[in-house]
Amino acid sequence: MLTYPKHQAGSALVVAIFVIVVMALIAAALYSLFGSASSATVANVGGARANFAAKSATQEALLKLFPVGGGVADCSVTTIPAFDSEGLRNCSAEVTCAEIIVTELSATLYRLEAEGSCELGTETYTRRILTEATDAND
């Protein structure tokens, strides 16, 4: 049995370099995957907080528009609530109201448009909500 050591020398080095390169590519792919998942989670949280800010502002505007004691307040006022809760820190919202007379129903339709925005780091996330309410008794 003849062996040729000069022809076989260095093959382990080639295999080792190949394995190192493949492992580095796998590590880079995993790093990229986890990095994009993390930024997507931050975007989801920012969007949800902006949505909650818009909903909270809409609820406050509806309470002012339709007071508990009855009647309807002036719709032309723009509402900008001040959020002091921990969950809506760095968030703001603005609600505008428009009256639409519906003669067929003998009622007034109130259209409230709310825009909530939250800042997370250098990014600003914004959500808009449209709510309609009426003063009809039916």
In tens digits, the chain (138 residues) has pLDDT values of 556 666 666 677 888 888 899 999 998 888 877 766 677 777 888 999 999 999 999 998 998 888 888 777 788 767 777 788 888 888 999 999 999 888 887 888 899 999 999 998 889 999 999 999 988 775
Indicate the domain borders of the chain.
5-134
Whether the Cβ atoms of residue 61 and residue 79 lie closer than 8 Å to each other: yes
Give the global pTM: 0.69
